[in-house]
Chains A and B, each alone.
Chain A
Amino acid sequence: MPDLGKYADTVLSAYAASLLLLVALVVLTIWRGRKVRREMETLESRVKRNG
């Protein structure tokens, strides 16, 4: 851990906030991507069976 001096809180909170936002963005993106992919596959198989 480098010595951040009197600005330790500033630097750490900036890193924490940014990384949290980035991780949230990636997680939400992948979560929605998987959900939509599953939905499409069920729908496709249903449409094919019926039509």
Chain B
Amino acid sequence: MTLTVTDLSVARGGIPVLEGLSFSLASGKALILRGPNGIGKTTLLRTVAGLQPPLRGQVEGAEDQIAYAAHSDGLKPTLTVAENLTFWASVFGRNGIEQALDGFDLQTLRDRQAGALSAGQKRRLGLSRMLVTGRPVWIMDEPTVSLDTASVAMFANAVRAHLGQGGSALIATHIDLGLEAEVLDVGPYKAKPPEIDDFDGDFL
């Protein structure tokens, strides 16, 4: 199960931000994306996840294989931790949330309403959602925001275990997770603005 990206260009709000990106992500591997704020990492991840169409190029092996985690966790404050996870598990056609609760140390919180969790606990719950999806390719956008050191280690362990089972992960992050992972700096792929004189459908 390999995720292959060829000659990908992505646009934000109609303006190209990154172009000519190619990489592949084999099972058992992780790829860390780096680059300054605003360069288009989130746009790239959303394009790979299939939430927005690419400007050019192809993404192969992503459809129905990916689990996506972004800045917001998709949690309902009036549902309990267990109810939230059970819901996402059944949306992805699976059951069994115990492993996810164990992996992110959420057993003691399982009957607490998600609205009553701290920011870090919410994040852990959001990340544990990746485990219940059963999808092989994890696509994560700044997963460690508001996590403390212990929780970051917990997260790194979860990713390592996932890779050990033949999964893969594409992560945009600034901190060192201590993973054996390739690093891709997207800075050099910043889109070059086209000539100013001649404009066409892109209006540039």
Contacts and interface: CB of A to CB of B under 8 A. Distances in A.
A2 interface: no
B196 interface: yes
Interface string B162-204: 0000000000000000000000000000000100100000000
Contacts of B196: 44, 47-48, 51
A51 B196 CA distance: 9
Nearest to A44: B196
Contacts, number: 5
Interface residues of B, number: 2
Interface residues of A, number: 4
Interface in A1-51: 44, 47-48, 51
Contacts of B193: 51
Interface string B139-152: 00000000000000
Contacts of A47: 196
A44 B193 CA distance: 14
Nearest to A48: B196
A44 B203 CA distance: 12
A18 to B, nearest CB: 36
Contacts of A44: 196
A20 B193 CA distance: 46
A48 B196 CA distance: 7
A47 B193 CA distance: 11
5 contacts: A44-B196, A47-B196, A48-B196, A51-B193, A51-B196
Interface of A: 44, 47-48, 51
Interface of B: 193, 196
In order of increasing CB-CB distance, the 5 nearest A-B pairs are: A48-B196, A47-B196, A51-B196, A44-B196, A51-B193
